[in-house]
Amino acid sequence: MKKTVHRKEVKSAKSKPATQPKKGDIIDVSVFDLNEEGFATAVYEGIRLFVSGALPGEDVRVRITHAGRRELTGEVIRVLRPSTDRLPDPPCQRAGFCDGCPLISMRYPGQLAWKRSYVEKSVHARRSLRDVPVQSVLPSPRPLNYRNSAKLVVAGTFRSPVIGIYRRNSHDVLDISDCPLHHPLINRIAATVKDGIRKGKVPVYSPRTGSGILRYLVIRVSERHERAMVVFVTSRRSFNEIHHLAKYVRQAIPEVDVVVQNVNASEGNVILGQHDHYVSKDHAIIEEVGDIRFSISPRSFFQVNSGGARLIYDKVREWSSLTGSESVVDLYCGIGGISLYLAGQAREVHGIEFVETAVADAEKNARLNHIDNCTFESGDASELLEALHEEGKPVDLIVLNPPRKGCDRRVLETAAAIATPRIIYVSCSPLTLARDLEILAELGYRTREIQPVDMFPQTPHIENVALVVRDAAPESGARIPRKPAASDKIKKKRGTA
């Protein structure tokens, strides 16, 4: 059946559509920007259109994949007028239909320019932040092959296994066992696991029937030492098949030091289960960022771009301006990366993190580096920050490194009540960063500058480091917010590394 081709384009989003496009229709549009997920944005007949595979400034022919009354989505079938930023030969042949790295068809300088513009728009949209300087993006040391970890779905059958990621909004698995974003060692391991599945006839798990064993493949790599960890996630404990698969992989790739079988019998989409069974003698690999060593276990959180992590840590260290006499609080400290990186220039560093296993990893990493002026504590960030203040301990610097949702307002209010002179905010979301910086402005703090860092080349994601200084006390006076009634339920754990 021949599809309708619409040529007419209306720029104004207020005009009513003359003809409502349908799924499968083919239309021509001009792209004017990218959204925060990396989808090109356009307007057709007054309806906003999101397109995968297009770049700003391009005229493209699009097939509609979803038609709503107020929003359309589509995919590029032909580029009519390419952007000057479009690569003639992208490094991945799946660029047109894989959503994992939507910017991979764009020249790297163009990616950096767009990311800076996106940060500026997000920040300068806030009235109190309109004059905050946003520096040029620090590029990743490796635009490709930078990912030191991968969590991959295993699908298909043992005769024809597929290792990759789910397509957007589906249960179909796209094979990316040779992904150009992965460290080369990850791709070698994935290809070898495929061979091992076929040779060993390892039953692949089927979520539809519940049969089979092997569900996921998790690979972590130490970039500095070229060593690897392989985690086979299985639906049940099955020693024989996994033992032989592990043996095959380690014989083929001697760089694999750690092999783990993780058992996950749940029906949800959480990758790792609660039980780990080590096939190898070693239980962790060692990675280094600058002069700090980290022990990486199957569950440890660690930045996927080691080179990018060093750029962030170096900027935090530079802006901290520590002299050796300061007391530092690192909120949302994770496994202690920033805490340990600052320890050599501070009198003491206190890390706070809600996840208890991350605190245990932080303490382990402090011992690994023979650092004895760091303490780590698990619990609610604002509660523990307030407790430090009540103990009369001065806080010269607070480092904030929250998850994508940003900081709870009470954390920011407590930091302002303590009147710490300097705050460094590390963020993975320009939108929540801008929101929180405006709250800090209301509380008497001024954002001096923002440094974007490209931790995730070929994707729309961008990290930022913001330097915030105490300008003046708010007119109403800063007060530590009242504790919630449930504060006694918050788990706390104190420990000195």
Residue 178, both tokens: 């040779």
CB atoms < 10 A from the CB of 404, how many? Answer: 10
Distances (CA, A) of 174 to 134, 170, 195, 197, 205: 37, 10, 18, 18, 16
Q: Tokens representing 421?
A: 């002179």
User: Strand 71-81 vs strand 47-52: parallel, antiparallel, or unpaired?
Assistant: parallel
216, 312, 336 from 321: Cα distances, Å:
44, 15, 19
Q: How many CA atoms lie within 13 A of 154 on its CB side?
A: 30
220 touches 148 (CB < 8 A): yes
Tokens of 34: 């990218």
The verdict on whether 428 is a catalytic residue reads: yes
Say if strands 149-156 and 161-166 run parallel, antiparallel, or are unpaired: antiparallel
Give the bridge partners for 33, in sequence order.
41
- Concatenate the DSSP letters of all residues of 3-57 into one string: PPEE------TTSPPSS---TT-EEEEE--EE-TTS-EEEEETTEEEEEET--TT
Separation of alpha carbons 220 and 325, rounded Å? 37
Helix (H, G, I), strand (E, B) or coil at 368: helix
Contact 453, 316 (CB under 8 A): no
**Within 10 A of 259 (CB to CB), how many other CB atoms are there?**
23
Residue 356 exposure: Cα atoms within 13 Å on the Cβ side: 5
Determine which one of 98, 374, 407, 428 is catalytic. 428
Query: Which residues does the annotation mark as catalytic?
Result: 428
